[in-house]
Amino acid sequence: MPLVNNKVGDNSTVGKDKALADGEALVDSLIKVVACYRHLASCVGSCTDSLQLRDELRQTREKAQKLSVAICHHLTSHLRNKSLPEEQRKEMELLWVAFSSSLELLHVDMCKVFKMGDVFSLADTGTLVQTGLQGGGSEVAARALSIPDLNQAQPPALPAGLESQEQSTLEQEISQIDHMIDDMEMKVNVLRWMVEPHGPQYADPLSSTDSASLALLSVDEERPGHQPLCQRSHIFVLLLLFAVVFVAATLSVCIFLFS
């Protein structure tokens, strides 16, 4: 992960802007990875739980941690720099707050995955909860790792010993995140009540392609026939129009012929 390249010489503000842009990019991708991790974590213990899922979780977690360490260094070094201009500082503080919230979510998710990994051992698939999920989360993991398709080169049947190893690693990583959080609070003092967000209270809907497909998501079981009915009514209206136009055309032809 490329860290900030401070331009030597040149305009220092350009360098600072680049630092800000870099920080933003890092934080954005951390947010994405945390969201994907949460998505995958919600499948642990369910019927789709498998070695592959655990492996994907591991990879996502590693990516998240790499990003966190990078962001931590980046932001800490900039925020401790007393010569930072005011607007830059404000932006950095916003990033800082976003970063600490992501860490919070990541921490809880990691704890939950650890606990559930203990409770639901993959050796005994009879205990996995049948939640109704059918597919795996490979695409989500691929999204997290920013690669087009998750490499299926790894054999899904990983040795069972890896599971316990992963558990102990997870434990260590959780405590590492703990320490990072502690460290952060010690080193940089961000007054959270002074931080003002940019965005509005109500988020704008996502882009049109997103919202169109999202509209499909909001199928409530309460009205299952809603969507098809809409489409049917559209077709009906169109047919009616065509019929009217057809009748008008036939009439005009008749008049023309008979006149």
Closest to other proteins by CB, 219 vs 241, is 219
Is position 128 an interface residue for other proteins (rule: CB under 8 A)? yes
The count of C-alpha atoms lying within 13 angstroms of the C-alpha of 139, restricted to the half-sphere facing its C-beta, is: 1
DSSP the chain: -----PPSSS-HHHHHHHHHHHHHHHHHHHHHHHHHHHHHHTTTTBTT--HHHHHHHHHHHHHHHHHHHHHHHHHHHHHT-TT--HHHHHHHHHHHHHHHHHHHHHHHHHHHHHHHHHHS-TT-GGGSB--S--S-SHHHHHHHHT-SS--TTS-S---THHHHHHHHHHHHHHHHHHHHHHHHHHH----GGG---SS-SSPPP--HHHHHHHHHHT--TTSTTHHHHHHHHHHHHHHHHHHHHHHHHHHHHHHHHH-
Closest to other proteins by CB, 42 vs 76, is 42
Q: How many residues bind other proteins (CB under 8 A)?
A: 80
Is position 102 an interface residue for other proteins (rule: CB under 8 A)? yes
Is position 130 an interface residue for other proteins (rule: CB under 8 A)? yes
Is position 122 an interface residue for other proteins (rule: CB under 8 A)? no
Q: Which two tokens stand for residue 147?
A: 């690669």
Closest to other proteins by CB, 85 vs 205, is 205
Is position 118 an interface residue for other proteins (rule: CB under 8 A)? no
Is position 149 an interface residue for other proteins (rule: CB under 8 A)? no
Is position 68 an interface residue for other proteins (rule: CB under 8 A)? no
Using CB under 8 A, pick the residue from 59, 63, 137, 170 that binds other proteins. 137
Compute the least distance from the CB of residue 188 to other proteins, in Å.
Answer: 12
Is position 104 an interface residue for other proteins (rule: CB under 8 A)? yes
**Dist. CA 78–CA 76, nearest whole Å:** 5
Is position 107 an interface residue for other proteins (rule: CB under 8 A)? yes
Closest to other proteins by CB, 84 vs 116, is 116
Is position 34 an interface residue for other proteins (rule: CB under 8 A)? yes
3-state SS of 132-185?
Answer: CCCCCCHHHHHHHHCCCCCCCCCCCCCCCHHHHHHHHHHHHHHHHHHHHHHHHH
Using CB under 8 A as the binding rule, the residues of this chain from 176 to 235 that contact other proteins are 178-179, 181-182, 185, 192-193, 195-199, 201-203, 205-206, 210-211, 213-214, 216-219, 221-222, 224-225, 227-228
Question: Maximum CA pair distance of the chain?
Answer: 96
Closest to other proteins by CB, 135 vs 159, is 135
Compute the least distance from the CB of residue 135 to other proteins, in Å.
Answer: 5
Using CB under 8 A as the binding rule, the residues of this chain from 4 to 33 that contact other proteins are 28, 31-32
Using CB under 8 A, pick the residue from 127, 154, 164, 233 that binds other proteins. 127
Closest to other proteins by CB, 156 vs 224, is 224
Closest to other proteins by CB, 17 vs 185, is 185
